[in-house]
Amino acid sequence: MYLAGSNGTGDIGFAPVAHWPHHYLDDGPCQLLVTSPDQRIRIGWFGDDFELWKITAAQEAVAPPRWTATFNHVSPPELVAALTTVLAQDYATSDPYENGRFLANPSVYWSDAVQPLLDAGWQLKRTYGFIDITAPDGLAGVEIDTHREGPGEGPGSQFITLWAGPRGWGTRTEAVFTYRTPSHLIAATAAAMTKSAPVVRERHMIHREMEHLVTLTPFVPLAAPRTSRSPTPLDVRRTAVTEAVRRAARAPRTAADLRVMAAQSRTTTPAQKRSAVLPPTAAAQTPVASSPRRPGR
């Protein structure tokens, strides 16, 4: 899934917070802003920027962000949905007058934020000031900056970066979390990277340099069920006529009818006689035999 790339829309990422207020800002770089009812959580969609998603949480609506998470334009929206799902749950269970879990201090143990990856067998490598965790296929990983110990949220204060795909503008997924992001939110996003369930993409959404790295399975949608319609006046008339003809064909013959048929049999040709005896529906269905063509002289 982490190599699937973006599907070009934010529907999946916004689905968990679809009931929150939506603000359409077509004139600015942020085209859609979805906020919690008290506006402490903000989820921005920047449709034309490299950083496609920007998610922040603050102690008050007008306070500076306590933490920030960004997803670039290649990031699968399923990763964003993993984060927004937990955010919606945290907000629903929070006290409006107290800090909810979405504002909790991160764990003092960096491993709590990436434990799902370690449990999945991703490889750990330590270097001075950094920790790298890499997927078994080498095509995804996590970079943790252990140098940063202060609470700053200014430029350059990134702490954990989830990545996937080869380096390149159209191939590398990057999700960056700043230092004070609660550990359980990062862990929820990291857990989504271990999922092997297929996701739906159109062929043109897969970068040509990624086609040999993913498994593409054609998907044929099921046919839509037929919907019943009310009969039209013409349908009703046709049904009535058909039933009347059937009843007439099955009706018993009276003595007068038999006398008329006997008189007709004395005055009609054999071909007409056969046609008169047949019910109307059968006569209409009897094919007319073509006369054999005489050989030319």
Query: Is residue 108 pLDDT above 50, yes or no?
Result: yes
pLDDT average, residue stretch 242-258 = 66
Question: Residues of 51-83 as b/e, b for ≥16 C-beta within 10 angstroms?
Answer: ebbbbbbbeeeeeebbbbbbbbbbbbbbbbbbb
pLDDT average, residue stretch 101-122 = 95
Point out which residues pair with 160 in neighbouring strands: 144, 177
> Domain for residue 293, yes or no?
no
Predicted pLDDT at 233: 66
pLDDT average, residue stretch 211-232 = 74
pLDDT higher at 65 or 261 = 65
Domain count, the chain: 1
| CA neighbours closer than 13 Å in the CB half-sphere of residue 216 | 13
pLDDT band at 196 (very low <50, low <70, confident <90, very high): confident
> Domain for residue 250, yes or no?
no
Predicted pLDDT at 146: 79
pLDDT higher at 242 or 84 = 84
Owning domain of residue 137: 11-213
Task: Write phi, then psi, for 32 (nearest 5 degrees).
Answer: -145, 130
Predicted pLDDT at 226: 63
Considering only 6-15, 227-236, 281-290, which range has the smallest mean pLDDT?
Answer: 281-290
Predicted pLDDT at 107: 92
pLDDT band at 241 (very low <50, low <70, confident <90, very high): confident
pLDDT higher at 246 or 270 = 246
> Domain for residue 21, yes or no?
yes
pLDDT higher at 70 or 227 = 70
Please give the mean pLDDT across all residues of the chain: 82
pLDDT higher at 93 or 49 = 93
pLDDT higher at 228 or 15 = 15
Query: Is residue 56 pLDDT above 90, yes or no?
Result: yes
Query: Is residue 273 pLDDT above 80, yes or no?
Result: no
Predicted pLDDT at 189: 98
pLDDT band at 127 (very low <50, low <70, confident <90, very high): confident
> Domain for residue 247, yes or no?
no
pLDDT average, residue stretch 27-51 = 91
> Domain for residue 239, yes or no?
no
> Domain for residue 287, yes or no?
no
Q: What is the 3-state secondary structure (H, E, C) of the chain?
A: CCCCCCCCCCHHHHHHHCCCCEEECCCCCCCEEEECCCCCEEEEECCCCCEEEEEEECCCCCCCCCEEEEEECCCCHHHHHHHHHHHHHHHHCCCCCCCCHHHCCCCCCCHHHHHHHHHCCCEEEEECCEEEEECCCCCEEEEEECCCCCCCCCCCCEEEEEEECCCCCCCCEEEEEECCCCHHHHHHHHHHCCCCCCCCCCHHHCCCCCHHHCCCCCCCCCCCCCCCCCCCHHHHHHHHHHHHHHHHHHCCCCHHHHHHHHHHHHHCCHHHHHHHHCCHHHHHHCCCCCCCCCCCC
Predicted pLDDT at 246: 73
> Domain for residue 219, yes or no?
no
Point out which residues pair with 132 in neighbouring strands: 125, 143
Query: Is residue 93 pLDDT above 90, yes or no?
Result: yes
> Domain for residue 143, yes or no?
yes
Bin 165: left if φ > 0, else alpha if -120 < ψ < 50, else beta.
Answer: left
Cα 151 to its chain centre, rounded Å, is 38
